[in-house]
Amino acid sequence: MPPTILSGAHMAGTIALISEFGNLGGFLGPYLNGGRGVGTGPGATGLYAITVIVAAGVCAATALRWVGDRLHRHERRGRQMTRIVRFADDAGTVRTGVADDTGGVRAFPGAPLIAELLRLSVAELRALVENTAAGPAAVHEPDVLPLPPLDGLMELWAAGVTYERSREARVEESTEQSVYERIYDAERPELFFKSPPWRVVTDGEPIAVRDDSALNVPEPELALVLNRYGETIGYLVADDVSSRSIEGENPLYLPQAKIYAGSAAVSSAIVPAWEIDAPDALDITMAVWRDGEAAYRASTSTAAFHRTPQGLVDHLWRSQPFPDGAVLSTGTGIVPALDFTLHAGDVVEISIEGVGTLRNPVRAQQSDLDWLVEAINHPLTRRAHRSGFPE
């Protein structure tokens, strides 16, 4: 347990304390059991004492986790958190760089694509990020246009039925229920292509619902940013917008339910993997705002994840290369009931602890996303379609 919640000297001290509890029990147990026959029964005093020691150990472990969380927060308050960003300046020049908590952005030397960064190992990328972060800020985030952090030959993929709630929802909506019941526990996961980089939107840009679908929902997910070697170099917030009615009619319609303009949104900054202590215990919250009120609100945690992220990566990387890496959205643990659907004008807000917040207005006309084609070569086109939200 200590390595998952503490590091360095804190971890060493914790292991020593746990060892001392074990030594104490081993030392006192025989003496206390020597009093068998005394008290309420044979060995009762010894057993009671051992129970107290075990209970104290449990309490200490819980307290150590609480202390460990706060030590991590204290340590991090003393340094700047870094994020990898892709952005355009007022001339439309696209660059990548490192942003910090103050909003300062330092461009990477040589203006590499995100895709080129994903040709590096985790260690190589970390060295580049830390060296770049040590320099002076060239620009500030309010003065540039944040762009989705996907480019080059990167691909956005997604996984399905990786949480119990997702399995339940798929069974509720589908005419072929056994398909989803079987995939939940199968060794091979459900993986599907979601979007090329140019069709991905980011914070403030519109997502869309299909006009030939009666039931459409957002799906909040933790996304892994993977280098060409299949190593997780960072994390994003993702929204795998889906048409429940189309997929529910026939599982073979899944590509139409999942892949269309406005169905894929990710946050605008990659949080490096080394900045996240416990990706398997992150709180995920989602709210759908309608006319200023929360029409839907729910939360979950990556602790409820049914599979291992690395297991998903291993299957995705099997039998195909990703020369510029990929982003893998890991599935959702939040699915509204069948009486809820997205409406035009809604705003979907998704937050993942330590990773960020993603907010997108909803559009109901596919033509509202036609601008994505122009934005391929003219990234500043996105500015006209970017919404600002009151805090």
Q: Compute the distance between CA of residue 232 and CA of residue 298 in angstroms, rounded to an integer.
A: 27
Same domain, 167 and 215: yes
Same domain, 255 and 359: yes
Euclidean distance between the first and the last CA atom of the chain, given in angstroms as a whole number: 38
Q: How do residues 242-283 score in pLDDT, each as one tens digit?
A: 999 999 899 899 999 999 999 999 999 999 999 999 999 999
Same domain, 153 and 135: no
Domain assignment of residue 331, yes or no = yes
Share of the chain above pLDDT 70, in %: 77
Q: What's the pLDDT band for 167 if we cut at 50, 70, 90? A: confident
Q: What's the pLDDT band for 170 if we cut at 50, 70, 90? A: low
Same domain, 106 and 228: no
Identify the domain boundary among 125, 146, 167.
146
Same domain, 47 and 159: no
Q: Between 129 and 81, where is the model more confident?
A: 129
Task: Read off the pLDDT of each residue in 186-202 and give the average, rounded to a whole number.
Answer: 96
* Contact residues for 42 (Cβ-Cβ < 8 A; gap 6+): 36
- Looking at the structure of the chain, the number of domains it has is 3
Q: Among 37-46, 163-172, 229-238, 310-319, which is the least confidently predicted range?
A: 37-46
Q: What are phi and psi of 192, to 5 degrees?
A: -150, 150
Contacts of 182-185 with CB under 8 Å at 24 or more apart are 184/306
Q: Between 69 and 150, where is the model more confident?
A: 150
Q: What's the pLDDT band for 78 if we cut at 50, 70, 90? A: very low
Same domain, 106 and 53: no
Same domain, 91 and 60: no
Domain assignment of residue 273, yes or no = yes
* Contact residues for 150 (Cβ-Cβ < 8 A; gap 6+): 114, 156, 197, 200, 266, 327
Domain assignment of residue 322, yes or no = yes
pLDDT at 73 over 50: no
Identify the domain boundary among 77, 105, 121.
77
Helix (H) or strand (E) holding 347: strand 347-352
Helix (H) or strand (E) holding 238: strand 232-240
Q: Compute the distance between CA of residue 207 and CA of residue 201 in angstroms, rounded to an integer.
A: 7
Task: Read off the pLDDT of each residue in 368-380 and give the average, rounded to a whole number.
Answer: 97
pLDDT at 75 over 70: no
Token couple for 344:
């035009």
Give burial (CB, 10 Å; 0-12/13-18/19+) of 63.
exposed
Helix (H) or strand (E) holding 24: helix 8-33
Same domain, 36 and 112: no
Domain assignment of residue 391, yes or no = no
pLDDT at 190 over 70: yes
Domain assignment of residue 256, yes or no = yes
Task: Read off the pLDDT of each residue in 308-322 and give the average, rounded to a whole number.
Answer: 96
Domain assignment of residue 190, yes or no = yes
Same domain, 215 and 155: yes
Q: What is the mean pLDDT of the chain?
A: 85
Domain assignment of residue 390, yes or no = no
Q: How do residues 321-345 score in pLDDT, each as one tens digit?
A: 999 999 999 999 999 999 999 999 9
Identify the domain boundary among 108, 125, 146.
146
Q: Which pLDDT value is given to residue 3? A: 41
Same domain, 174 and 276: yes
Q: Compute the distance between CA of residue 163 and CA of residue 307 in angstroms, rounded to an integer.
A: 8
Q: Which pLDDT value is given to residue 24? A: 55
Domain assignment of residue 97, yes or no = yes
DSSP for residue 387: P
pLDDT at 25 over 60: no
Same domain, 213 and 305: yes
pLDDT at 80 over 90: no
Q: Which pLDDT value is given to residue 226? A: 98
Q: Which pLDDT value is given to residue 2? A: 43
Q: Compute the distance between CA of residue 335 and CA of residue 305 in angstroms, rounded to an integer.
A: 14
Q: What's the pLDDT band for 231 if we cut at 50, 70, 90? A: very high
Q: Which pLDDT value is given to residue 254? A: 94
Token couple for 118:
């994903």
Find out whether 239 and 358 touch, Cβ atoms under 8 Å.
Answer: yes
Boundaries of domain holding 12: 2-77
Residue 294's SS3 state is: strand
Find out whether 32 and 52 touch, Cβ atoms under 8 Å.
Answer: no
Give CA angle at 314 (312, 317), nearest 5°: 105
CATH number at residue 236: 3.90.850.10
Q: What's the pLDDT band for 36 if we cut at 50, 70, 90? A: very low
